[in-house]
Structure 1
Amino acid sequence: MRLLAVFATLLVVAAASGRLMTMQEINQRRLEAAKRWQTSGSQNVKSGGVQNITFTNPKASEFYVDGKSLPLVDFDVGPSWAGLLPISNNPNETRQLFFWFFPPGPQGSLNDLIFWTNGGPGCSSLAGLLEENGPFTWSWGQAQPTVNQHSWTNLSSVLWVEQPVGTGFSQGIPDAQNEDDVAAQLVGFMQQFLEVFSELKGKKLYLSGESYAGMYVPYIANYIYENPSRLGLSLQGIWINDPLISWYVVQQQIPAVDFVKKHASLFSFNQTYMHHLDEMAATCNYTGYMDKYATYPPKGLLPLPGDSTDFAQGCNIWTDIHDNALMINPSFNMYRIWDTYPLPCDVLGFLSRDTQSPIYYNLTDVKEAIHAPVDTEWIECTSTNVFPNEDSSLPPALTVLPSVIKKSQRTVIVHGLADFIIMADGYDFGFDPYLRNGLQGFQTPIADDSFIIDGVGAYGSMHSERGLTYYEVALSGHMLPEFAPVASFQIMQYLMGFRDTP
């Protein structure tokens, strides 16, 4: 026991002098590293305060949120505007989307507007605001909210919208049949938003989102490009992180076994089960699929296993892996694979839905502060089907994404490498139909260049060709602005043209 007590004061890492460091020295270095990390990627950003912005339409005052009096937030987050607006100017319209708008911080641009949506389908963008890229953050494991040093409001104004209809506080009966319907409803909402906040008209617009927003964002962008007179904003480009852009069989099933082998120590499966997975992969024609077909440059459209857009019976390898991972580690998190017990607290109840009380957005005083409907129960990802008959749209990589890339100033796709729900290797296929200048897909492998973070160094890989820049970010899972805020901030700077190099 005495040896253990002595050992606990030391770290088995040699300092420059060759001796072992004490815990006091280690903690000091941790503090210094944390300070460097907080300022990296955004050295000239000042936290706190916003630029002066006023809206002349008297109706705007109905949406004003006093940043000094947000419940359970013990600092001023600055002025903002939030509430419900309809998806059209029809006086009989009952469908409304909930929004929360923040103006830019002291050095943010007044000429730009970032739009953010979460995915799902049916997951709330207020989760993105509070746990990912908003001006204050109350993320997993935090006992209380803090100022977000890497808020995207330090770049420009940001608009978080709960969409489609049926998501979060949004009101009305969902009736979207496909992504074109979602896009038309969102643009209809934006028209009503710009009538109230007319000073935002003419701004440069950047569409962004994650996960199933890989479906939303390209279709919304395509709708705006094809209907330029409908929206008084100038669309410049899009950001989608960990996005669904192709078939689930391509982005979940085919890469799953190789992903497990790459992270074998985290999954901790025994050899018997690994043999079972190899047999499943062989039966389903997944074995060697990537080696055979994921070539650079691409040699044509990739055939799907079994010539189907879905997995065959007995070939749901992803779910088999997920369920068995939970048997070994009941806290296995498909969004960030290294999580174990204890589960961190989550003020939005997503991680600890059975035990978390109260959920922040269900507090009556929170609802009143942000003009949300008090009688609506807020759920991060709704149980309501926001596509009553399922989403009939084809994946955007096969349809609108190539055109959107061509029409945009810049397009970025970002992926956290610890994400199991959508895996990075799936993009070898997801990018395959990407056509521009007579060329199909990326012409060289997507992991050929290091992604460098200012003040930090290499933080993954990136690749840029013909208007599309793709990033793979180390030490991050599915919710990339939450898990890798420094990297996300710098990537958004690039998308907006605030830095020349990816």
Structure 2
Amino acid sequence: MTLLSLIVAAAFVSNSHATTSKSNPVVSEVDKPKEFQFLSNVTEKFFVNGTNFPLVPFDIGESYAGLLPNTPHGDSKLFFWFFPSLNPTAKNEITIWLQGGPGCSSLDGLLQENGPFLWQSGTYQPVRIMYSWNNLTNIVYIDQHVGTGLSPGKSMVNNEVDISNQFNDFWRRFIDIFDMQGYKVYITGESYAGMYIPYIAEGFINKNDTEHFNLKGIQINDPTINELNVLANAVATLNHFSSIFSLNETFMKDINARDEKCGLTKFLNEALTYPPPKNFPATPNPWSDPDCLVWYDITAAAQLVNPCFNMYHLTDFCPFLLDPMGFPSLAAGPGIYFNRSDVQKALHVPSTNYSLCDETVIFSNGDRSVPSALGPLPKVIEATNNVIIGHGWFDFLFFLNGTLATIQNMTWNGAQGFQYPPTEPLIVPYTQGQVDPNTWDGGSGVLGTAHTERGLTFSSVYRSGHEIPQYAPGAAYRQLELLLGRIKSLQDTGPFTTQQ
């Protein structure tokens, strides 16, 4: 008896989450278990047993995982883990999640940000999450490019066009395997995915093939979209959060004097006007003078005050918590979850030495592409009129004001930058928590700002760090609702569309 036959037999015993099945040329509608929407003789080799996944004390639901080739542009395979949604409005759409790095595994987003089961640092075991993105949409987590996470082989890319070509070869196969021709596609991710995603999206657009590459929007959080001298303008953020840093008066006077000498905050004050200045100010080059490399001195000083200073989330403190993803390495604990042999076997991948991030395997000579804001991002906005850039206020790797300055120097849909200040509220409706019905466990109310002009939305989240779904899951969920068209704006006060 095949795996598919066993699952079909079991389905007649338990069918508590029935949904409409997809037609399939091999498995008839009568025989196919209705709760497994994408199971067929073609996909059964990727089927993951959700009722007995290692160390997870509950059923994670229908999912599929494994490797698909990225040829002919590549010479290896990319790993994916696909979670169908039971939400009826997700029937003809698929959302992609990509981590950054470069060289970081998207399984980090699955396990600690927005996946169907959540295992945060310092916790005993995975838990359910009411803000899982597959409550809203079919979602697939992909380790790309080759050499990242569970995707085997040696990277052969020199730039983002290489990445796009290899990814698109993989993606065509994914769509055909799961019979998703014509599905609306949304691409989401964070950090260095601010480079990956606009270039991959441009590749989708250039294909002119809505059967496989029907791009409808992208979202990039705390993204790498410009040069570091724009994104990492640190002293203004230090001053705003001076009570969190608690650095001494001597240091603060010195760092501000250096900032004034180098014109760092002066640049921001001139750039962040609405509409933008006709003669946009030149960006300071901090590498021209050692006194201007203030970010490095600030982080060094912060680590003296707080040895567990986390540039990804300013309010973290000691001790480091045990982390099933193995980050930071000092807190790896008893083992890295996706390095377990039983987990890798369940995901249909050969045994490998998994690590969360490995930048050395990606661009051996550095990424030779121009920053996405200076390249494909405006084109993607114009093609979709549905792009969201999110940013956490507590991120000290890339700064909110640096991202805004980038937007103000970018031209799309016939004008440069935002014409009005991006100050409207990001409103997240109150909803009962899943852990405690009296607890709002995802964050609700006014959680930040949100502003839309000419197809681009910029949304900031007050208490979030670099990873918005991890630190503010309610806000991240709401942003996704906007991307998918479930709500009209981030000022909408209508209820969440959670599927619990």
> Where on the TM-score scale, by shorter chain, does this alignment land: which range?
0.7 to 0.9
Greater length-normalized contact order (CA 8 Å, ≥ 6 residues apart): 1
> Is contact 1:213-1:244 (8 Å) kept?
yes
> Is contact 1:108-1:153 (8 Å) kept?
no
- Following TM superposition, by how much is the alpha carbon of 1:89 offset from its aligned partner in structure 2, in angstroms? 5.5
SS of corresponding position for 2:139: strand
Match of 2:186?
206
With over 3 angstroms needed to count, the CA separation of the structure-2 counterparts of 1:396 and 1:231, relative to structure 1, is farther
- The separation in 2 between residues aligned to 1:427 and 1:383, in whole angstroms, is 23
**Does residue 52 of structure 2 align to residue 69 of structure 1?**
yes
Q: 1:245-275, CA deviations, whole angstroms, 9 ceiling, x for partnerless residues? A: 11111010x2x11111111111111111112
Q: 1:305-364, CA deviations, whole angstroms, 9 ceiling, x for partnerless residues? A: 45x5x7324132112211221111011111110111122221111134454221101111
- Greater shift, 282-291 or 216-225, is seen at 282-291
> Is contact 2:101-2:191 (8 Å) kept?
yes
Residue from 245, 269, 277 that aligns with 2:247? 269
Alignment of 1:309-324 (within 5 A): 311-314=287-290, 315-324=292-301
Residue from 59, 68, 77 that aligns with 1:96? 77
- Following TM superposition, by how much is the alpha carbon of 1:287 offset from its aligned partner in structure 2, in angstroms? 4.1
- The separation in 1 between residues aligned to 2:159 and 2:251, in whole angstroms, is 39
**Does residue 138 of structure 2 align to residue 157 of structure 1?**
yes
Amino acid at match of 1:291: N
- The separation in 1 between residues aligned to 2:488 and 2:447, in whole angstroms, is 18
**Does residue 345 of structure 2 align to residue 345 of structure 1?**
no
> Is contact 2:270-2:281 (8 Å) kept?
no
Match of 2:61?
78
Uncovered stretches (5+) of structure 1, i.e. residues with no partner? 1-47
- The separation in 2 between residues aligned to 1:275 and 1:328, in whole angstroms, is 17
Match of 1:148?
129
Amino acid at match of 1:438: G
- The separation in 2 between residues aligned to 1:192 and 1:97, in whole angstroms, is 11
> Is contact 1:301-1:432 (8 Å) kept?
no
Alignment of 1:247-286 (within 5 A): 247-252=227-232, 254=233, 256-286=234-264
Figure out how many residues of one structure are paired with residues of the other and give that number. Answer: 446
With over 3 angstroms needed to count, the CA separation of the structure-2 counterparts of 1:437 and 1:125, relative to structure 1, is closer
- Greater shift, 133-142 or 431-440, is seen at 431-440
> Is contact 1:113-1:204 (8 Å) kept?
yes
- The separation in 2 between residues aligned to 1:64 and 1:348, in whole angstroms, is 23
- The separation in 1 between residues aligned to 2:118 and 2:78, in whole angstroms, is 23
With over 3 angstroms needed to count, the CA separation of the structure-2 counterparts of 1:155 and 1:353, relative to structure 1, is same
Alignment of 1:89-488 (within 5 A): 94-107=75-88, 109-197=90-178, 199-229=179-209, 232-252=212-232, 254=233, 256-300=234-278, 302-306=280-284, 308=285, 311-314=287-290, 315-353=292-330, 355-374=332-351, 376-446=352-422, 448-455=423-430, 456-488=444-476
- The separation in 2 between residues aligned to 1:492 and 1:339, in whole angstroms, is 26
Residue from 451, 461, 479 that aligns with 1:491? 479
Match of 1:11?
none
With over 3 angstroms needed to count, the CA separation of the structure-2 counterparts of 1:439 and 1:409, relative to structure 1, is closer
- The separation in 2 between residues aligned to 1:296 and 1:383, in whole angstroms, is 37
- Following TM superposition, by how much is the alpha carbon of 1:298 offset from its aligned partner in structure 2, in angstroms? 1.1
- The separation in 2 between residues aligned to 1:395 and 1:280, in whole angstroms, is 27
- The separation in 2 between residues aligned to 1:124 and 1:301, in whole angstroms, is 41
Amino acid at match of 2:143: E
Q: Give the TM-score taking structure 2 as reference length.
A: 0.85
Amino acid at match of 2:125: Q
- Following TM superposition, by how much is the alpha carbon of 1:373 offset from its aligned partner in structure 2, in angstroms? 2.0
With over 3 angstroms needed to count, the CA separation of the structure-2 counterparts of 1:49 and 1:210, relative to structure 1, is farther
SS of corresponding position for 2:97: strand
Q: Give the TM-score taking structure 1 as reference length.
A: 0.85
Q: 1:182-221, CA deviations, whole angstroms, 9 ceiling, x for partnerless residues? A: 1111111111222322x22211100000011111111111
> Is contact 1:165-1:171 (8 Å) kept?
yes
Match of 2:439?
none
- The separation in 2 between residues aligned to 1:69 and 1:276, in whole angstroms, is 58
> Is contact 1:224-1:231 (8 Å) kept?
no
- Following TM superposition, by how much is the alpha carbon of 1:498 offset from its aligned partner in structure 2, in angstroms? 0.8
- The separation in 2 between residues aligned to 1:360 and 1:453, in whole angstroms, is 32
Amino acid at match of 2:346: A
Match of 1:38?
none
- The separation in 1 between residues aligned to 2:476 and 2:133, in whole angstroms, is 9
- Following TM superposition, by how much is the alpha carbon of 1:50 offset from its aligned partner in structure 2, in angstroms? 7.7
- The separation in 2 between residues aligned to 1:50 and 1:95, in whole angstroms, is 37
- Following TM superposition, by how much is the alpha carbon of 1:141 offset from its aligned partner in structure 2, in angstroms? 2.5
Q: 1:378-409, CA deviations, whole angstroms, 9 ceiling, x for partnerless residues? A: 11111433111111111111121111101114
- Following TM superposition, by how much is the alpha carbon of 1:57 offset from its aligned partner in structure 2, in angstroms? 5.6
- The separation in 2 between residues aligned to 1:142 and 1:227, in whole angstroms, is 44
> Is contact 1:94-1:171 (8 Å) kept?
no
Amino acid at match of 2:379: S
- Greater shift, 224-233 or 71-80, is seen at 224-233
- Following TM superposition, by how much is the alpha carbon of 1:78 offset from its aligned partner in structure 2, in angstroms? 0.9
Q: 1:443-472, CA deviations, whole angstroms, 9 ceiling, x for partnerless residues? A: 1122x2111111232111111111111111
Uncovered stretches (5+) of structure 2, i.e. residues with no partner? 1-15, 20-34, 431-443, 491-500
Amino acid at match of 2:68: L
The alignment yields a C-alpha RMSD, in angstroms, of: 1.9
- The separation in 2 between residues aligned to 1:144 and 1:204, in whole angstroms, is 35
With over 3 angstroms needed to count, the CA separation of the structure-2 counterparts of 1:50 and 1:442, relative to structure 1, is farther
> Is contact 2:47-2:65 (8 Å) kept?
yes
> Is contact 2:110-2:141 (8 Å) kept?
yes
